Structure formats: C-alpha cells, structure tokens
Amino acid sequence: MPAIKKRKVERETHVDVGASDASSQNDESSETPAAPKSFRELGIIDSLCEACDTLGYKAPTPIQSESIPPALQGRDLIGLAETGSGKTAAFALPILQALMDKPQSLFGLVLAPTRELAYQTSLAFEALGSTINVRTAVIVGGMDMVPQSIALGKKPHIIVATPGRLLDHLENTKGFSLRNLKYLVMDEADRLLDMDFGPILDKILKVLPRERRTFLFSATLSSKVESLQRASLSNPQRISISSNKYQTVSTLQQYFLLRPHKHKDIYLVYLLNEFAGQSVIIFTRTVHETQRMAFLLRALGFGAIPLHGQLSQSARLGALGKFRSRSRNILVATDVAARGLDIPSVDLVLNYDLPTDSKTYIHRVGRTARAGKSGVAISFTSQYDFEILKRVEGALGKELPEYDAPKDEAMVMAERVGEAQRQAIMEMKNFDEKRGSRGKQFGRGKHSREEMDREEG
C-alpha cells in the first residue's frame, strides 16, 4: 500500500487540459503528457480499483487523471471540471486511499450545499469504499438531531454534511469534535464560499485543524482570491479541465424558446408532449411556482412531482426517489436540485424560468448529458428576460439556437391548459391554507430570499 507523502510545493500549479467529459476519457491534449490509462497507473490501490471496476468505471475521467496523483502526494486541490465529469470520485478515491493507509474515525469531512447532494455523495463514498468497509454519516438540516448525534457517536470515517447542521452539532453535540480531521472537501465550492454560507463556513473552519488537506471542487469556480482564501488552502494545485470557465458538455444540445409570458404554460405542455415518456426536470425560480406547476401538470395527467425547500425532508427524499426510480418521469424543482444531483436517466432539462445567474444555468442544464450521455436543455425566454438569455450566452461564449415549437400545434392545447391552470390555482389555495394554518404559507409575487429557495441548513 503506498504511503501518503507530503510534498512541499512553493507555488500554485496550473494544469489546463482541453474540454472533455466522461465519454472522452482517453482524450489526450497536446498541452499535457499522455493521460494514464488506468486507475492503477494513477497510484490507486487494488481494492479501490476493484470498486471502480464494479461501478463500471473503465478508465479515469480527465479530472480524475489530473487530480488523483497530486492528491495522493498530499497536495491541496482546486478542481474545475464540467458537470457530470466524475468530480466526486476524483476527491473520494484519494481520501479513501489515505484512510486505508492510516485508518481513523472522523477522517474526512465533505461539505455540500444541499441535503440531497449530501446523501448522494455519502452513497458514492460507500460504493467506492465498499471493499474497505468505510463508514459514513450524513449530517443535514431537516432531520432529527438525535439520530445524527448517535451516528456521530459511532465514529464514522467520513462525514458528509450541509454547513448549518454541521455547525449545530459542533456547537451542541457533546463529545463531537473534528479536532483530528485530515481531509476537508468543499463540493460545489463556489456556492459554499458565497455570501449565504460564508459566515457559517468561517465558524466551521475555525474549529478544524490547520494541518489538513483541503479540496475545492465545482463546475463553476472563479479564481476570486478573497473567497478562495476563506477556505485557507495551502499551496493548492489548480486543475482546470476546460478552456472556458463556464463550459457545458459537448453532448448537451441547448436551445431557447422565446414566447410571450402568458403562453409559457401552453408551450410547456407542448414540449412535454414532444418529449413524452422521457425523464424531465423542470426548473422554476420560486417554491410557489414549483408547487403550482406540479398541480397544473398533474391536472393534465402528467406524472409530475415537486421538489423544493419547503417540503419536509422525507417528502424531498421521497420525491427524488420516485424520480430516480422513474415511477414519476417529471421532477418540478427549485434550485435545490440545480447542483450536483446525478440521475443518469435525465433526458431533458426545461428552464421554465431562466436563472438570473449564469452559474446556476450551467449547473441546472448539467443535470442532463452526464458521464458522456446526451441530453437536451430548453430555456423559456419571455419579453421580460431576454437580457438574462443574452447574459447566459455571453457566459457560455456562444449563441443558443431557438427551439422549433410551431405556434399552431402548441395553441390547440390552450383551452385544456387554461382549465388545468384554474384547477391548479384552486389546489394552491387549499395547499396554502393547510400550510398557512401551520404558519408556512408561501408568499407570492415577489421573489423573496426564502421563496428563491437556495438556503440549506
């Protein structure tokens, strides 16, 4: 078993390789030496190679090829690679290997911006670490604290957490400390390092040992020094697997659809009929809109299920489970589903509302066309948000083609959609009343911070 040796490096190193994805794993760039062909050649031990084999990982993806060797040498990493390009295994494998070398409880901490992503990442660690019996604990908001305290008491090797709840345990759970932590990962690091999470993160970082390795990963990571400094990296190696900061994968076909705001529901139904039977995620900007749309689509006979931050955590996991298992083929979601979720069957991402920030656009459309598969993303654009489309195109560095949705074919559905809209409004009223009595009525109209649904505990 190779020992993990620390190597002192004087300056940040930059590795840039051409745009690529999990399908083009063996692409070789003229700027970099030939990529090693196997996980074994990267220095991964046999038992972990076996796990990769079982998962069907035939060869490392580019971000894995570039990240694993320096990580095994004890470097801090900043990893930038497209959505669906295998970043999870890029940080999980070196941590599992280091854990094998010096087994210890509370060895690694992975921070994630959403609860669903935390669950998914913990499953990835368990799958990759199955041959070495790795124990993980998921510490997220919306779930009972007591079972989590018990899970922490059982001394897991790896904790996967959302920041708010982790801090809660660090402050209130007797006997729990991360004093001996060896690895910290910030997955979706740009989101974790932004203003919303910043103060919580600072408090967590204060109680972590400075003598640790730190990995920052995302598909959209700017090199803003202030926010990266927050993570207190030590001589990080920066690995960037794309030529453009805001790259989407080549297997993704992206379109916009410019229609009047008042006809959006009609064209939405037209598109869902066009993609009938396929697996679709519809993103909206607010909790209210997500819930309304789920009612609307159900009234029209579609198998739609909502996912947003004002549902109980068990309802959220239930919704995701049904969508994953394809017992429902349409997930209507706020941006709680925008980052990290890996559901290989997703064929189409529909942006019912364009997100105001281009990074969110990249993450949303990245829920399809993962690991070399193809996918389609269509973004509704109305008279009100044409400017946003132009901004997104600016960030992507290309213009998007318009999707062909003939007016006469779509408008025949106007009457039925109108009926379903009225039904959805009634159902929303009942829904709001029920929740209102529990003090949880959705606001309407303005996009308040709570409504935008980006917070996680």
Ligand X SMILES: Nc1ncnc2c1ncn2[C@@H]1O[C@H](COP(=O)(O)OP(=O)(O)OP(=O)(O)O)[C@@H](O)[C@H]1O
Binding site for ligand X (CB under 6 A): 22, 57, 60-61, 64, 81, 83-89, 219, 340, 342, 344, 366, 370-371
CB of 317 to ligand X, least distance (A): 18
> Dmax of the chain from CA atoms?
69
For ligand X, the closer CB: 159 or 338: 338
Cβ–Cβ < 8 Å for 164, 171 = no
Q: Compute the least distance from the CB of residue 436 to ligand X, in Å.
A: 36
Closer Cβ to ligand X, 89 or 378, answer by number: 89
User: What value does the CA radius of gyration of the chain take, rounded to a whole number of Å?
Assistant: 22
In the three-class reduction of DSSP (H, G, I as helix; E, B as strand; rest coil), residue 320 is classed as: helix
Instruction: Closer to ligand X by CB, 113 or 148: give it.
Output: 113
Q: How far apart are CA 316 and CA 323, in angstroms?
A: 11
The strand pairing partners of 376, in sequence order, are: 253, 348
Shortest Å, Cβ 4 to ligand X: 22
CB of residue 295 to ligand X, shortest distance in Å: 29
Q: Which of 114, 359, 108 is nearest to 215 (CA)?
A: 108
Nearer to ligand X, 123 or 405 (CB): 123
CB of 399 to ligand X, least distance (A): 24
Report the nearest approach of ligand X to the CB of residue 85 (Å).
4
What is the smallest separation between the CB atom of 168 and ligand X, expressed in angstroms? 25
Torsion angle, alpha carbons of 73, 222, 398, 31, to 10: -30
Closer CB to ligand X, 22 or 376, in the complex: 22
Is the CB of residue 383 less than 8 Å from the CB of residue 261?
A: yes
Nearer to ligand X (CB atom), residue 112 or residue 139: 112
C-alpha 105/C-alpha 122 separation (Å) is 15
Closest to ligand X by CB, 94 vs 288, is: 94
- Could you write out the DSSP letters of every residue in 372-404? T--EEEEEEE-TTSHHHHHHHHHHHTSPPPBP-
Separation between Cα atoms, residue 382 and residue 364, nearest integer Å = 19
**Torsion angle of C-alpha atoms 89, 92, 97, 102, degrees rounded to 10:** 180
For residue 253, the SS3 value is strand
Crossing angle for the helix pair 414-437 and 287-299, to the nearest 10 degrees = 130
- What gap in Å lies between CA 36 and CA 69, rounded to an integer? 10
> Which residue lies nearer to ligand X by CB, 248 or 290?
248
**231: closest CA among 172, 180, 183?**
183
Q: Measured from the CB atom, is 65 or 286 closer to ligand X?
A: 65
Torsion sign across C-alpha atoms 342, 343, 345, 346: negative
Smallest distance from the beta carbon of 56 to ligand X, in angstroms? 6
State the minimum distance, in angstroms, from the CB of residue 142 to ligand X.
21
